[in-house]
Amino acid sequence: MKIISLHYPLSAGELEGAEPTTIAIGHFDGVHRGHQNVIRTAVEAARESGAKAAVMTFHPHPKEVLGNNAGQYVTALTPLADKLECFERLGVDLVYVVQFDLAFAAVSPSMFVHDILRPLQVRRVVVGFDFAFGAKGAGNASVMRELCEPEAIEVSVIEPYLLDGEKVSSTRIRAMLADGKPQVAAELIGAPYAVRGTVVQGEGRGRTIGYPTANVQPSAPYVVPKIGVYAIRAEVDGQLYDAVLNIGVKPTFHEHLPEPVFEAHLFDFNESLYGKTVTLRLIAFLRAERKFGSIDALIAQINADAEEARSILSSNS
């Protein structure tokens, strides 16, 4: 899969080698089932027509740049690197990553079509039903159709993907994670919610109580799920291991930690993980984090957590 960064206005170098594409356009945070529907439609149409299957996404999120509810988008369900991997798994040939800045934010819907889609040789656009584009979100799917028709660019609009009668959306996934419902989030995404990071030196306390943990420093500003203990699967070097994860501020040992830490104990695993990349896949929420009155009480609870996690994971293979 080829990745091309675009900046507005497009340069000759960015347009060099452009070839006919069918393109799915959107931010696609989470690359959930609804997004997958849009992208698969573009891929299938491209295969039928002989064009390249492309995705156009934007980085950073427009609301970060424009300041509208910016705090909501400081974190991501799928940071750009993860998003690109999802696109590749869906069969995408080419990804345009548009640098979303104030210059691009000022692009009108007609300029978007005439100055970007046409020079890139887009032959067909696939968007979701709620797609908005152009300065101040002035364009929608209907406007896209009107503007693309004179350019002989087809437009396909994909209806919402419903689960339990409700639209699948990134906002809904965030809400489920905040409520400690990773199973529901996984149904919406089509896979367990995952956080990737590097194992760094921690306090080493877990090893002294019989539960060595990997202190995972997230590689990007992921959405942090509800603070607490989870049954998870940890991916290391392409292998999956059952594990228990604590996301929290360790109140038994600390009064105030500036931000939650991710500490995973991998069952039946004795190798060093320092410096390795680990992907934490959330399977089930076990309990909220709390402060214990003694180390013995903490150890007893960790034993119970580990037993519950093993039971859940053994039936969720």
- What residues contact residue 12 under an 8 Å CB cut-off, 6+ apart? none
Token representation of residue 98: 């548009």
The secondary structure element, H or E, covering residue 313 is helix 295-314
Q: Measured in Å, how far apart are the chain's first and last C-alpha atoms? A: 31
Distance CA 316, CA 16 (A): 49
Among residues 235, 255, 263, 289, the one annotated as catalytic is 263
263 is catalytic: yes
Do the beta carbons of residue 4 and residue 14 sit within 8 Å?
yes
Selection from 193, 187, 190, 248 nearest residue 216 by Cα: 248
Identify the CA nearest to 93 among candidates 102, 103, 84: 84
Spatial distance between the Cα atoms of 305 and 242, rounded to a whole number of angstroms: 13
Which residues are designated catalytic? 263
